[in-house]
Amino acid sequence: MTARTKDRDATTRRSFLGRLWVWLGGLVILEGIWITSAILRPRKPPATADRDEIVVAGPVDRFEAGTVTAFPAGKFYLSRMEDGGFLALSRRCTHLGCTVPWVAEEGRFICPCHASSFDIKGEVLSPPAPRALDIHPVRIENGVVKIDTATTVTRLAFAPSQVTRP
As a residue count, the chain comes to 166
Average pLDDT, the chain: 88
Residues 18 and 32 in one domain: yes
User: What pLDDT is attached to residue 14?
Assistant: 81
Q: Report d(CA 30, CA 65) in Å as an integer.
A: 60
Residues 84 and 135 in one domain: yes
Higher pLDDT, 94 or 11: 94
Domain count, the chain: 2
| Bridge partners of residue 33, in order along the sequence | none
131-154: average pLDDT: 95
- Tens of pLDDT, residues 23-60: 999 999 999 999 998 888 877 655 544 445 889 999 99
Pairs from 18-25 (Cβ < 8 Å, separation ≥ 24): none
Q: Can you give the pLDDT at residue 16?
A: 84
Are 115 and 155 part of one and the same domain?
yes
Q: In terms of domains, do 54 and 113 share one?
A: yes
123: domain CATH number is: 2.102.10.10
pLDDT above 90: percentage of residues in the chain? 70
Residue 48 confidence (pLDDT): 47
The answer to whether 164 and 85 are in contact (CB under 8 A) is: yes
The mean pLDDT of 91-104, rounded to a whole number, is: 93
Based on the fold, state whether residues 59 and 11 are members of the same structural domain.
no
What is the reported pTM? 0.68
Q: Are residues 142 and 83 located together in one domain of the fold?
A: yes
pLDDT recorded at residue 49: 46
Same domain, yes or no, for 56 and 13?
no
Q: Verify that 156 and 87 share a domain, yes or no.
A: yes
Residues 92 and 12 in one domain: no
Kindly state whether residues 106 and 158 are assigned to the same domain. Answer: yes
Please give the pLDDT value at position 25.
Answer: 94
Say if residue 2 is in the same domain as residue 32.
Answer: yes
Domain that holds residue 1: 1-43
Same domain, 7 and 80: no
